[in-house]
Structure 1
């Protein structure tokens, strides 16, 4: 009878230890997850605020003139090799 009581107390103690371990692990996970998403939100908000203070410069307009170097081979290929006499 005493052995059964000791075993029952051991089961309760081990149950409490395991439950505490599970609660501690879930709490740590929640703290880490909240810390991560808080950091993500802070970086996002910082970028938004910085973009409002110093907006990005406008993209340069494409040049209307074409690069002559692109057409050097075309001119050489289509050159008239016959000379006028």
Structure 2
């Protein structure tokens, strides 16, 4: 009779420990997730506000592509072997 009561108490205690562990893990996950998304929102909002205050002119992408192509072509055609005297 007493051993059955002790087993029941032990089961209740282990259930409470496991439940507390699960709740602690979920709480930690929520805190980390909320912190992450708060940071993402802050960066997004900061960029939007900065873009309204100081807008950047659109980049000339075609000129950038031409410069990149020229640089790649020059590197490809460069003679890296130097003859020794």
Unaligned 5+ runs, structure 2: 64-85
The normalised TM-score by structure 1 is: 0.68
Q: Distance in 1 between matches of 2:5 and 2:55?
A: 73
Deviations 1:16-43 (A, max 9, x none): 0000000010011011101100100000
Alignment of 1:38-57 (within 5 A): 38-57=38-57
Q: Greater CA radius of gyration, 1 or 2? A: 1
Deviations 1:25-68 (A, max 9, x none): 001101110110010000000000001111002435x78xxxxx
Unaligned 5+ runs, structure 1: 64-85
Give the aligned partner of residue 24 of structure 1: 24
Q: Which has the higher helix share?
A: 2
Give the aligned partner of residue 6 of structure 1: 6
The normalised TM-score by structure 2 is: 0.68
User: Which ranges of 4 or more aligned residues in structure 1 deviate by more than 6 Å?
Assistant: none
